[in-house]
Amino acid sequence: MDLCWLTVKEAREALAGGELDARELTQAILDRIQRVDPQVKAYINVFPRVALEMAERANGGPLAGVPLAIKDVICVKGLETTCASKILRGFKPPYDATVIERLGEAGYVLLGKVNMDEFAMGSSTENSGFFTTHNPWDLERVPGGSSGGSAAAVAAGECLASLGSDTGGSIRQPASFCGVVGLKPTYGRVSRFGLVAFASSLDQIGPITRTVEDAALILEVISGHDPRDSTSAPYPPLKARELLSREVKGMVLGLPKEYFGEGLDPQVRESVMEAAKVLEGLGCRVEEVSLPHSPYAVATYYLVATAEASSNLARYDGVKYGYRAPDYKDLFDMYVKTRSQGFGTEVKRRIMLGTYALSAGYYDAYYLKAQKVRTLIKRDFEEVFETCDAIVTPTSPTPAFRMGERLADPLTMYLSDIYTISVNLAGIPAVSVPCGFTREGLPVGLQIMGKAFDEATILSLGHAYQGVTDWHKRRPSL
């Protein structure tokens, strides 16, 4: 039994049954990280001593002894949290995020913090302030973003599962690129307390795993109301059994015509349509639907998200914490130099876009109009869900692209998330499930979208699909 490829469920059962020791499992994963991470570069920081101490203490709890990786945008008390940005290098939070508290109560083992696009702004992890993570299936290609380190670590056997964050597709798109499962829960389902904010009305924490069942197990631990998060929904934690037990036979699945037009890679289309046939074979009915405002989603997102980023990132000024420029004449000069030197190109681009959209004379023309279109996008989904139980689409229009291929063209890069952005604008849940490979051996993801707070339907569909396919069982050869 190769311990690095255990699912969370398999590890839980082996640990609980005494067939496996938590320290032995943790050491095996740490050894794996040492062997393959120089190629993959998924981790910003690995904490071997912390991990082994947590494994030693693991006793009881639904995740007791299970080694996980955490995206470096989630605060862990006393351990460096950088958001992959020079401006936060050396910052050690004085508190745990709520999801970290809940994982701790469940007995998890923290392996380390994984790489990402700086402040979660990007679709390839090439915007990290430190280095680019490589896709385990092809080291010359990107792992997706912004949770590229989270997805690559799971795909490479460098953790059993990980936590990421999703503002416009940042869990689902890298999960698709790396051939793993990525769940973006309903907005408000998982507390954002301790998640470093990018766009507060869009951000959501979720799991990246090898199976849909594992995603449900982790969602059970991290979900539930949190009074410290004013956007947290007043619902109790979900139960994994209930999340996976829904009968899929008879479900009606919408196939939106806007997601199968220009720009969709033919091989991705082929894999997704084949997956739809598999779901039909399980007793689902698939019918064409329309989400007419989808073409406006990217423009809407890059006004709403950048405006919120402009506001949220104003706090990084070199005064209280984080990087401060060493040489400056006065306070204003210190602000300018600190932010100019501390932030990367993409972060500065988005701050400027957002500041412009919020500025006097442009607020109504841009930000206010974007919020109105966001409402129309949300209504599109509500109308489709009156007749459909879920919506199935490609997760990304293409498989993983080559490093450097889109860096000079931000708009082409932004279009990588064209199929995922609407989910965040509407606040609904979605999961990406592996559904095939291209002729070049690159993974393809199937996205299943559901009604708000109906994670049970999309996870039951994904679980049923994985029960009759084996795409999720394939491993990259590193």
The torsion angle over the Cα atoms of residues 456, 459, 461 and 465, rounded to 10 degrees, is -160
The pLDDT score that the predictor gives to residue 88 is 97
Whether 392 maps to a domain, the answer reads no
CB neighbours of 221 closer than 8 A, spacing ≥ 6?
62, 63, 102, 103, 106, 237
The pLDDT score that the predictor gives to residue 321 is 86
Residue 146 appears among annotated catalytic residues: yes
Please count the structural domains in the chain: 1
Whether 129 maps to a domain, the answer reads yes
Whether 89 maps to a domain, the answer reads yes
**Structure confidence by residue, pLDDT tens digits, 158-207:** 999 999 999 999 999 999 999 999 999 999 999 999 999 999 999 999 99
Q: Which residue range is the domain that position 125 belongs to?
A: 3-246+459-473
**Structure confidence by residue, pLDDT tens digits, 196-215:** 999 999 999 999 999 999 99
Residue 320 appears among annotated catalytic residues: no
Mean pLDDT of 334-346: 96
Of 275, 272, 279, whose CA–CA distance to 419 is shortest? 272
CATH of residue 37's domain is 3.90.1300.10
The pLDDT score that the predictor gives to residue 410 is 85
**φ, ψ (nearest 5 deg) of residue 91:** -75, 125
Q: How confident is the model at residue 270 (pLDDT cuts 50, 70, 90)?
A: very high
Two structure tokens written together for 90: 């050396």
Whether 406 maps to a domain, the answer reads no
Predicted TM-score (pTM) of the model is 0.97
Whether 436 maps to a domain, the answer reads no
Whether 329 maps to a domain, the answer reads no
Two structure tokens written together for 221: 């631990």
Mean pLDDT of 216-243: 96
E-strand ranges in 355-450 read: 390-394, 430-437, 443-450
Q: Are strands 204-209 and 390-394 parallel, antiparallel or unpaired?
A: unpaired
Of 12, 1, 84, whose CA–CA distance to 42 is shortest? 84
- Exactly one of 71, 113, 184, 451 is catalytic; name it: 71
Distance CA(85)–CA(100), nearest Å, equals 21
Whether 423 maps to a domain, the answer reads no
Q: Are strands 285-289 and 161-166 parallel, antiparallel or unpaired?
A: unpaired
Residue 19 CB neighbours (<10 A): 9
Distance CA(171)–CA(222), nearest Å, equals 16
Distance CA(444)–CA(346), nearest Å, equals 27
**Structure confidence by residue, pLDDT tens digits, 434-449:** 999 999 999 999 999 9
Distance CA(403)–CA(101), nearest Å, equals 36
Residue 358 CA: distances (Å) to CA of 27, 304, 405: 50, 10, 31
- Exactly one of 170, 191, 396, 460 is catalytic; name it: 170
Residue 357 has pLDDT above 70, yes or no: yes
**Structure confidence by residue, pLDDT tens digits, 110-149:** 999 999 999 999 999 999 999 999 999 999 999 999 999 9
Cis ω on the peptide bond leading into residue 146 (within 30° of 0)?
Answer: yes
Q: Angle of helix 212-222 relative to helix 98-105, nearest 10 degrees? A: 110
Q: Do the beta carbons of residue 282 and residue 248 sit within 8 Å?
A: yes
The pLDDT score that the predictor gives to residue 1 is 67
Whether 186 maps to a domain, the answer reads yes
- Percent of the chain having pLDDT more than 70? 100
Q: Are strands 161-166 and 204-209 parallel, antiparallel or unpaired?
A: antiparallel
Least confident of 256-260, 334-338, 346-350, 359-363: 359-363
Residue 41 appears among annotated catalytic residues: no
Average pLDDT, the chain: 97
Q: CB burial class (10 A; 0-12, 13-18, 19+) of residue 340?
A: exposed
The pLDDT score that the predictor gives to residue 59 is 83
Distance of CA 93 to the CA centre of its chain: 22
Question: CB under 8 Å, gap of 24 or more: what pairs does 236-240 form?
Answer: 238/189, 238/455, 238/456, 240/213, 240/216
The pLDDT score that the predictor gives to residue 415 is 85
